[in-house]
Structure 1
């Protein structure tokens, strides 16, 4: 397995590279400036020496005076001959020093200044003519300064800059690593805390004494833990509810079958037992079918075969299937408003049927079920309002949970298995919509919202009571 480099090491390497770049540029600039300054001083020195010697040579016109001039030049010449004076003349009496060898390589450096290499050394040479005076003919005076000291100083400066730059890069890298480790210490603490999390007890990450950059990450992570814990609790409750819902009909089927097999039965008795078992098996089948549908929705399935329909018309068609329930409850249906929307017709009818069936089962007998259809800002809202006496036990936030019932005793478990509103939520999600539930005093309002295109046209319909859902 490839070993991952730590962030601290990477930051230290980046600090080192940045320091190397800065030190290199700074060192080159300093080295170049220093070399130019040394060269400037060298040129100043050679010109000063030439001015001193040249002014004296210009006033020496006799042989005796020239001898005194030669003595002065010998006095000005250092013992190491790092500075040399040369006078070239057609008259040997007015010459001085050894002339530069013929063919010596000369490189121009400045006006009247050349760089000449001989005797394995490089000299900076300033050469000018001195006009004739009395006995002395015209002569050429040259002052040469050895550049060995200049090169030695430049080399020492270069080595010093390189060594200091390398040490600086190492120091910055080590300090950068130390700073990075100190800065990343909160992340390491959070990592250790996260690695110790127990699925059974998702303790939240501490957000005290954290840098501002990590607070958002910790809050987002804790939010994810909240959602995960909620989902885990829902899953646990869901598993218990599934087991409970399946256990009752299975227990009924097994018990009745065992009773039927305990002694000989007549054909009529067996038919009665089989009829009862069939009801329980159909209930099991409905639960399994609904669970498969919800599983499809959980996997992100979208509604297909969309067609544009009138919502009010689909409400009335769905109410036709609940004619018996409306009649038993003595309720009427009120439909207010209308809009056209692209939906899967069968899924919309199933959602509407579940919503109205829920309103009839839990509403007050004899009170109307009001369906309101509203369109606003590209959204279609379908809400069903009814009156109920059992709102004190209802939790609006859980109405669309699977197997949720306001009646904890599940006294109506043979007629209702608690998946109707969960299926409504799944259908709304498959159409890109959402669901809602509002409880106010003795009235509950449940519905869903669906996206609607601007091209769809409203077909407004006034509210009107329907004595029978079958009446359109």
Structure 2
């Protein structure tokens, strides 16, 4: 089922709101008109009853009442909806004016000494179901005789007027709603024009035009935040595409070198017959190149897994000092060949993935061994600082220029002067260290002096 557009939804919402408001206003106006009409009718009936009672009180006898019948009728005469009946104590009608012929109720008349008010009015219905509103009062002539005066009005004409009024109001409300729907739809579409323009601009952005940014232009303030968020997303996408492109180029370069070496050495070996030792040396060289390719592939796969949000850490409680001693012992042979010493200082405990912790520290230590001059000492240091556990790898030697420090943790990045050692370095070691720290919710930093000590510092959250 097709989903409604935003313009249609807003129009439908306005329609519901306007319908409810129009209906409520119409009902209120109808009720007000109905109440005003009934109040006017009640006032006329009450005044007529009071006037007739005073007229009766001015007469000397009941016989005189018949003589003044026209005067009595004139007091209530307005239209055929009004009726008047005056009866004596025996129930004989002395005055009877009822053009419409609806029934009159003479029961429970208001006593002669009681003032007639609107609360005395009663409502009953005729044979045709039409409501009748009226009042019965007791009057007294001068000779002491009592009469019952009934003044009533049929509400049929009032009901007809209200019916026409309600019908006209409904038609006008319907016409107003139709006009409001059309106008609101046009206004909503006009208001959403910047959003449609933004969607059109976004549809034109491809992988080849990620540098394009959306413009808020004349869009309302509410869309500026959306535009800024989309542009920030495009910045991230462009940066991601650039990194992927650079990563692909660097990976191809790093794989091309060992593969080229393999092919070159094999082609040279095939130019003439070799001795067994020469073939053994060739195979040994090929194995070294294969190991280099294997390390590169392994590191790339690790980084790909680390970027997966579902990567799960196997955290255990670690004695950092013990772990650093084990790592130092593992590198002891390589350090001896380079005439470099390794020492560990400090104590601390933390909760971390043991394998990833060892890998991060080993990468830093391996990196330090390549750049530490002979007869120097590399220091593995740990300490608990506030709510963090710090692990530092320090080595003397030439420092890292400031312009390279921010890029050290980029994948395949190498300081230019170290390219010569690319056979032993894939350019991914520090990137792996950064990924390990991000997985643990920590961070890595580098401090280096031009002619002094280079220090890589790992900051682990202290959750032990």
Contact 2:106 2:148 in 1 (8 A): no
Matching residue of 1:451: 461
* 1:54 has 2:44 as partner: no
**Change in 2 beyond 3 A, CA 1:26/1:80:** closer
**Deviation string, structure 1 residues 342-399 (Cα, Å, up to 9, x no partner):** 3343432222121012123234555443333232343212122334436237522221
Matching residue of 1:467: none
SS of the equivalent of 2:273 reads coil
Flag structure 1 segments of 5+ consecutive residues without an equivalent: 457-472
* 1:191 has 2:199 as partner: yes
Matching residue of 2:287: 278
Matches within 5 A, 1:57-456: 57-62=56-61, 65-76=64-75, 78=77, 80-89=79-88, 95-97=94-96, 110-117=119-126, 122-134=131-143, 137-202=145-210, 203-300=212-309, 301-304=311-314, 306-327=315-336, 329-389=338-398, 391-392=400-401, 395-407=404-416, 410-442=419-451, 443-453=453-463, 456=464
Higher mean C-alpha displacement, 80-89 vs 32-41: 80-89
**How far, CA to CA, are the matches of 1:286 and 1:107 in structure 2?**
113
**Change in 2 beyond 3 A, CA 1:284/1:79:** closer
SS of the equivalent of 1:115 reads strand
Matching residue of 1:464: none
**Change in 2 beyond 3 A, CA 1:222/1:106:** farther
Contact 2:66 2:95 in 1 (8 A): no
Counting matched residue pairs gives 451
**Change in 2 beyond 3 A, CA 1:219/1:371:** farther
Q: Larger relative contact order (C-alpha < 8 A, sep ≥ 6)? A: 1
**How far, CA to CA, are the matches of 1:72 and 1:435 in structure 2?**
112
**Change in 2 beyond 3 A, CA 1:205/1:264:** same
Deviation at 1:188, TM superposition (A): 1.6
SS of the equivalent of 1:5 reads coil
Contact 2:123 2:131 in 1 (8 A): no
Scaled by the length of structure 1, the TM-score of the pair is 0.85
Matching residue of 1:45: 44
Deviation at 1:250, TM superposition (A): 1.1
**Deviation string, structure 1 residues 76-113 (Cα, Å, up to 9, x no partner):** 46485232222223689971226898977899994253
Contact 1:106 1:116 in 2 (8 A): no
**Change in 2 beyond 3 A, CA 1:426/1:75:** closer
SS of the equivalent of 1:411 reads helix
Deviation at 1:435, TM superposition (A): 2.3
Scaled by the length of structure 2, the TM-score of the pair is 0.86
Q: CA RMSD in A?
A: 3.1
Flag structure 2 segments of 5+ consecutive residues without an equivalent: 109-117
SS of the equivalent of 1:71 reads helix
